[in-house]
Structure 1
C-alpha cells in the first residue's frame, strides 16, 4: 500500500475485514449447495438400484426356487442352489423399504421393529450366501478329489442337515444387529428418523471400538475365512483335474466358480470401505464410496439368476431344447445324466416337429 496515507491504509484494512466474512460465507454456501446436490444424486441412484434389485431379485430368485424346489428331483446340488436363492430372495423382497427411505432422503418412517428386521436380513443374506458358497466349494472338492468317499457318503439328507446348520450359524452372526440397530432421531434434522446403530452409552471411543469389532467380525467370518477355504478347495480341484478331460461335465463347475467369483467381486469394495470408515479420510469421500460399494454388494442378490439364465439360454440355442430343460441342466447334480436327459428331449422335439410337418402335408 505504498503512496497511501495512514488513514487510507486503516480504511482499506477495515474494508478487507468487512469483506472477508462475506466472501467466506459465499464460498461456504456454494460448498453446501454442491454437497447437497451430490447427496440428492446419491439418493436417486440408490433408489433406482434398490428398485432394480427388488424386481430382478424377486423374479429371478423366485424362478430358481420354483425350478430347484418344485420342477426337479431333490439332489445335493439343487439343495445348495435352492438355499442360495432363498437367501437372495428374502433380501431382495425387503428392498422396497430401502427405496422409500432413499426417496424420503434417509428418513425411516417404518418404526423400530422393521428397522431391526431390515438390518438383520441384510447381514443374514451376506453370511448365509457366503457360507452356502463355502459349503458348495467343499462339496465340489470332496466330489472331485475323494470320489469314492463322496459316492458312499454324499446324500440329500446330509445336504439338507448341513443347509440347516448353515442357516443357524448365519443367524448367530446376524442376531446382534437386531439389538444394535434402531430407529433414532437424526442429529442433523430432528424432523427425521434414521435406521442406524443405536448405543446405550455416549462414549465415542466405546462406539468406535464396537464398530471396529463388528467390521473385523464381518470381514473375518463373512469374507476372509470363506475366501481362504474356497480358494484352497478350487486350487486342489484344479491340480486334480488338470490331466483329465473335464469337457463332458464342466457346466455346473463353471456356474459354481462364476457364482463364487461374482460374490467376492461384489462384496470386496463393501468390506474395504467398512474399514476405511474408521480412518481420518475425508468424510464426503467415505460416504460416497460406502454408498456405491453397498449398492454393488446388494446387486449380488440378483446377479446369480441372470448368470443361470444366460448359461441356460445359450445352451438352449445350441441344444434346441426348452429353456426350462436347459436351466435344469445348469443345476444338475450329475452332468452326464443331464446331458442324456437333454439329448432325449432334443430327440422328442425333433420327432414332434417331423410329425407336425407330415400331418400338415397330408
Structure 2
C-alpha cells in the first residue's frame, strides 16, 4: 500500500524546519509499504493539487497531522481527499484534545475515517495494517488492557534513515527574508543546501506552565532515548553532510532539553567523546542555565542557539502562568553566561499580563 503523510502549512508563520512526526512514522511503518512525505510549508499545495498527488501516486491511506492553528486547513484537505475515495487518519495535539470533532461526533461534519490519539509510536503500525486489510477502526489510542494510557518507551527508538531521504524538498529556509539568506551565505552556509533537522532526545516535561499543552500530550514524566542512539543519529547526519556538501543544523525538539541536567551532561559528554558535534539548537528553561558546567558542555558539543521562555519580568505574572521557577533577577546573569560562550540566546515572552485590581 502507498501511504502519504501530509503536514499542512500553518498560515500564520512559515515554519523554519519540517515536523519530526512525518519522519518518525515513516520509520515506524511496517515493511512492504511505500511512504511518501509532503510538507505544505515547503511545498504549498492546494486541495486539487493534493488530490491529484494522491491519485497519481495511488495512495491508499493519507495521514494528516496538525496543531490547532492548522486545524481548519487540515480539515479542508482531509475532506477533499476523502471525497476522492481515499481514507484519512488524523492525529496530533488538536485531534487528541477534541477527538469528537474530526469524527463528526460533536454535531459538525466528519473530517476523518480514523483518528490516532496521543503518541502514535505503538498505534501507527496497527493503523497501517488495518487500513491495508480494509478494516480501519475509528479510534486508535495507546491503551493497556485496563484502558489506561501508556506512554511509549524510547529505549528502542527507530532509526530514521536521513540518508535515504530527499532532504531538499524540506528546505524551508526559502521562506526567510532575503537579508537573512544573504547572512547565511556570508557565514558559509548557502541557504539552498542548508537543512535544519529535527531530532528528539526525550519527551515530556514535569512543569505545568498554564499556557503549554506539552504535559497534556506527552505527560509529566520524562522519557529519554539512550545516549548511544542520539549520538549514532548525529554521526549519520555528520557523515551525510560531508557527502552532500551541504550544511546541517540539528534542532533538539525536546520540550526542555536539559530537564534532567545529569542526563543532559552525560549526553553532551558522549557527543564530544565520539566527535559527533554538529551545530545544534535547543529549548532549555532559564533556571537550568544557571549551571556553569552545563553551559560549558553546550558550547563544546556544538550548541549554537538556545531558545528560552522568560515569559515576564514580573513575579506576579509568572505566578499567574504557573512558572514561578523562573527568577527574573537571574535573567541577566544567564544571558551573559551564554553570550560569553558565543551562544546567542533566543528569549521569548508570553502576552499574559497581570490584571489590575
Q: Same fold (TM over 0.5)?
A: no
Higher RCO structure (Cα 8 Å, ≥6 apart): 1
Using structure 2 for the length normalisation, give the TM-score.
0.20
The structure with more strand, counted as a fraction of residues: 2
Q: Which has the larger radius of gyration?
A: 1
